[in-house]
Amino acid sequence: MAKIPPGVGPRYPQCVVLFGATGDLARRKLLPGLYHLSSAGFIPKCRIIGVSLDEIDADGFRQAARGALDEFFNRKVTDADWDAFAQSLDYVPLAAGAPALRAAVLEAEKSFGGESRRLHYLSVPPSAALSAVRLLGEAQLVERSRIVMEKPFGTDLASAVSLNARLHEVFDEDQIFRIDHFLGKEPAQNILAFRFANGLFEPIWNRNFIDHVQIDVPETLALGKRSGFYEQTGAYRDMVVTHLFQILAFMAMEPPTALEPAPISEEKNKVFRSMLPIQPADVVRGQYVGYRDEDGVDSESETETFIALKCYIDNWRWAGVPFFLRTGKRLAEGQRIISIAFREPPKSMFPPGSGVGAQGPDHLTFDLADASKMSLSFYGKRPGPGMRLDKLSLQFAMHDTGLLGEVLEAYERLILDAMRGDHTLFNTAEGIERLWQVSSHLLEEPPPVRLYPPGSWGPKSIHQLIAPHAWRLPFERAWRNPDGTGS
- Contacts with ligand BG6 by CB under 6 A lie at 219, 238, 336
The C-alpha R_g of the chain, in whole angstroms, comes to: 24
Closer to ligand BG6 by CB, 117 or 413: give it. Answer: 413
Min separation Cβ 180 and ligand BG6, Å: 8
Closer to ligand BG6 by CB, 47 or 185: give it. Answer: 185
* Cβ 163 vs Cβ 129: under 8 Å: yes
Sheet holding 373-381, edge to edge: 389-397, 373-381, 363-367, 337-342, 210-218, 323-328, 306-311, 283-288, 449-452
Give the burial class of 388: count Cβ atoms within 10 A of its Cβ; 0-12 exposed, 13-18 middle, 19 or more buried: middle
Among 36, 120, 212, 243, the one annotated catalytic: 243
Min separation Cβ 304 and ligand BG6, Å: 12
Cα separation, 365 vs 481, in Å, equals 15
Closest residue by Cα to residue 342 from 232, 458, 472, 236: 472
Backbone angles phi and psi of 40, in degrees to 5: -85, -5
Catalytic residue check, 243: yes
Closer to ligand BG6 by CB, 177 or 318: give it. Answer: 177
Q: Side chain identity at 275, as an amino acid letter?
A: M
Report in angstroms the alpha-carbon separations of 19 from 74, 149, 233, 242, 319: 24, 10, 19, 21, 43
Closer to ligand BG6 by CB, 170 or 248: give it. Answer: 248
Closest residue by Cα to residue 322 from 330, 311, 307: 311
Closer to ligand BG6 by CB, 62 or 226: give it. Answer: 226
Min separation Cβ 243 and ligand BG6, Å: 6
Cα separation, 481 vs 483, in Å, equals 5
Closest residue by Cα to residue 118 from 424, 418, 408: 418
Closest residue by Cα to residue 414 from 243, 252, 256: 243
Cα separation, 157 vs 159, in Å, equals 6
Closer to ligand BG6 by CB, 305 or 377: give it. Answer: 305
Min separation Cβ 109 and ligand BG6, Å: 31
Closer to ligand BG6 by CB, 321 or 408: give it. Answer: 408
Min separation Cβ 23 and ligand BG6, Å: 11
For 107, residues 6+ apart whose C-beta sits below 8 A from its C-beta are: 90
Q: Side chain identity at 222, as an amino acid letter?
A: A
Q: Where are the alpha helices (DSSP H) in 326-428?
A: 410-420
Min separation Cβ 122 and ligand BG6, Å: 14
Min separation Cβ 40 and ligand BG6, Å: 20
Cα separation, 308 vs 442, in Å, equals 12
Closer to ligand BG6 by CB, 71 or 445: give it. Answer: 71
Min separation Cβ 185 and ligand BG6, Å: 7
Give me the residue whose beta carbon is nearest to ligand BG6. Answer: 238
Cα separation, 268 vs 427, in Å, equals 9
Q: Report the catalytic residues.
A: 243
